[in-house]
Amino acid sequence: MKVELIDHMGSDLTVVNAARVSFAKTSEWDVIPEAGKVEGFLKYEDERLINYLAKHNHWSPFGHASMQFHIKAPVFVARQLVKHQVGLVWNEVSRRYVDDEVEFYEPTEWRLAAENKKQGSSDETIEFSVKPTHEWCRQTYKNLLSAGVAPEMARMVLPQSMMTEWYWSGTLYAFARVCNLRCKPDAQKETQMVADQIDNFGRDLFTYSWGALRDDN
């Protein structure tokens, strides 16, 4: 699973000035960012402002900064993450249009079901190979295409373990909400793997704002 940062807009100072415009004021970096770096150092009062905004649910200033990612993950992970809609835009590869070689996610260990809850898994694992199943799906898909079946129908034999990829863009606040939910220990491990990578980019690009928005701070 891979998360690639494609682009971003704004900085912690963007959030600060989006809030201060309400009083017809602007702020500047206390220490200007070094060449090639996004962040400088905020003034103490601007750090306090960011923390105040997050603590008291003033979300709109955080909507003026954004990130864009190119993500590759299994279909079952994508279907969990696409549920997050507010402040986010999603465009995914479509097997109606492409019939490239199929790639599958194959874990080396399989977690057993948790005994005390309806969903989730335990720390106990077993070894199990699904390579024969994946190979059957891959070959059946190819056979259908060779027989002239439309890709939009042939894709029905491909399982949720198939890898997919998408562009995901959104506001700082929106991605922080994703990470607040999907980085938690009770989130599915594979989804955590994607969210953790997004979390790392957020911390690097928006040090003060991300720290204020994330629940683990």
Structural domains in the chain, CATH included, are: 2-94+163-213 (3.30.1360.170), 110-157 (no CATH)
Whether 20 is catalytic is no
Residue in 95, 138, 182, 214 annotated catalytic: 182
- Alpha-carbon torsion (12, 18, 19, 24), positive or negative: positive
Distance CA 124, CA 115 (A): 11
135-180 per-position pLDDT tens digit:
999 999 999 999 999 999 999 999 999 999 999 999 999 999 999 9
In one letter, which amino acid is 86?
V
Interval 47-75 mean pLDDT: 97
Q: What is the pLDDT of residue 114?
A: 86
* Strands ordered across the beta sheet of 163-171: 2-9, 66-74, 163-171, 88-92
Q: Give residue-wise pLDDT tens across range 189-203.
A: 999 999 999 999 999
Is the Cα dihedral 116, 118, 119, 124 positive or negative?
positive
pLDDT at 115: 83
